[in-house]
Amino acid sequence: MSVKPLKTPETKGGDFEQVPAGVYLARCYQMVDLGTQTITSKQFGTSQKRQIMLFFELLQDEDGKKVTMEDGRPFGISQIYTWSMHKKAKLRADLNAWRGKPFTDKEANGFEITKLLDKFVKLQVVHNESGDKTYANIGALMATKKTDKGVNDLLAFSIDDPDMEAYEGLSKWLQDKIASAEEWDEDPSNIAEEDKEVEIEDTDNTIDTSDVPF
């Protein structure tokens, strides 16, 4: 599957509306390759990790009712992952839960991440407190057969082959995050042609994926 990055809708001003806690039918509509980022934690110190950010629009609550912000747009929520399909990686664990069937090592190797675009998932939103602030985070992903009509355009941004029009449509925070990556070059013409092509290993035809969404 090849997805040409699309320009995101114009960001509108207004007060921030927090996603209510609950379980929702959601659709993955955007993914942004953040490149290799410097991660610092008290437990593991400083390390370099390639990261990807997935964005979801929330379309229905657990009762099947539409959920929207005051301006009529669906609530959105995102998650940053280390871009790894290692057995112990959070991305692989969440995708296992999403598809309802664990990846084999062969399926996980070279998995084409853009297959997640326009796919639906049952998503749990939880609220976590930090100091005097409350944050809405993704608590769990679960398989679902339900679908709905998506609202937002699909977008896949690659730092290795950047679409600058799409980049300009991202939030300032995301632009700064991408620009801090070691792979980033503001002039995409400087990227060597061989760096733009990524080999994706084909899944063996003997693997039955007829009952999974990706």
Buried b (16+ CB within 10 A) or exposed e, 108-140: beebebbebbebbbbbbbeeeeeeeeeebebee
172 Cβ contact partners less than 8 Å away, ≥ 6 residues apart: none
Q: pLDDT (tens digit, 9 = 90+) per residue, 121-133?
A: 999 999 999 989 9
Indicate the pLDDT class of residue 4, thresholds 50, 70 and 90: low
Q: Give kind and range of the element (H or E) at residue 156.
A: strand 155-157
Distance CA 108, CA 91 (A): 11
pTM over 0.95: no
- Band (pLDDT 50/70/90 cuts) for residue 206 is very low
Summarised one tens digit per residue, pLDDT across range 151-183 is: 999 999 999 999 999 999 999 999 999 999 999
- Domain ranges, ordered by start, for the chain: 22-187
Average pLDDT, the chain: 86
Residue 213, helix vs strand vs coil: coil
